[in-house]
Copies of this chain bind each other. A is one copy, B any other.
């Protein structure tokens, strides 16, 4: 889960998402609308008998706040919470397993803030099955080829990897940028992502206010998506002053065509857009 504003636990209930499914939480920055759902969510996890570890990445200060809340409420949390502090000054790889790698990168907000990029991990190369019989490959040789190795036979013959394997499936990627004002560097951090969420608090008529408050307009978000060569752009974090949100789409489309509003409860698939090996 990325960020956790007030009421998140009720949204999860409403959309029938069990909070037992949440193992990792990524907090972009410590403004109230991004963290104030966390104490209640943790409290509910606890009341509902969670024993599984929860891991949270955030800028410095969150652990202290959570500790204080549970101290004054006299509650004991019966599961382990691991807090990782994000360096909000430079991009970093913060997570890496067999399936995914996750990067944080600096945003440009009134307080230390990070975006996140999720990249599906490179799967093994696929063996070309006709080659297995042609070269009479052993299990171990197949495994070695999947990892990208050339195969050397006892007689000294070598088959190069690309002759017997096909490239791994393309990787999907998603990046999340909230809250931030327009900053060129962000386009570099999120280059070629398939799906980009970028905040757009305001429309162009309030672009000065956006700069001043370290927020973005729909145009800002679209320009980042364009420069980054993103596959698709999702907008969100709309100021409550706007009743009709259609202006966000029309202003963004002046710079970037494939754009949608990220509204409460919407689901989006991450579809491959970038060419192979762009990462």
**Copies of this protein in the complex:** 2
Interface residue tally on A, bucketed by range: 20 to 34
B73 to A30, Cβ gap below 8 A? yes
Interface residue stretch chosen among A18-26, A59-67, A246-254: A59-67
B73 to A64, Cβ gap below 8 A? no
A40 to B30, Cβ gap below 8 A? no
Whether A69 sits at the interface, judged by CB under 8 Å, is yes
In the assembled complex, how far is the CB of residue A75 from the closest CB belonging to chain B, in whole angstroms?
Answer: 7
B32 to A43, Cβ gap below 8 A? yes
In the assembled complex, how far is the CB of residue A195 from the closest CB belonging to chain B, in whole angstroms?
Answer: 28
CA distance A69 to B69 in the complex (A): 9
A36 contact from B31, B39, B65, B110, Cβ within 8 A:
B39
Residues of B within 8 A of A35 (CB): 73
Residues of B within 8 A of A257 (CB): none
A31 to B75, Cβ gap below 8 A? yes
A73 to B7, Cβ gap below 8 A? no
For window 26-74 of A, CB contacts with B under 8 Å fall at: 30-33, 35-37, 39-40, 43, 61-62, 64-65, 68-69, 71-74
Please indicate which of the listed interface residues A6, A39, A64, A110 has the most CB atoms of chain B within 10 Å of its own CB: A6
A32 contact from B61, B69, B111, Cβ within 8 A:
B69
CA distance A74 to B61 in the complex (A): 10
A32-B36 contact, Cβ under 8 Å, with A6-B9, A72-B62, A110-B74: no
B6 to A37, Cβ gap below 8 A? yes
A75 contact from B32, B68, B72, Cβ within 8 A:
B32
In the assembled complex, how far is the CB of residue A8 from the closest CB belonging to chain B, in whole angstroms?
Answer: 9
Whether A10 sits at the interface, judged by CB under 8 Å, is yes
In the assembled complex, how far is the CB of residue A150 from the closest CB belonging to chain B, in whole angstroms?
Answer: 54
CA distance A35 to B75 in the complex (A): 13
CA distance A110 to B47 in the complex (A): 15
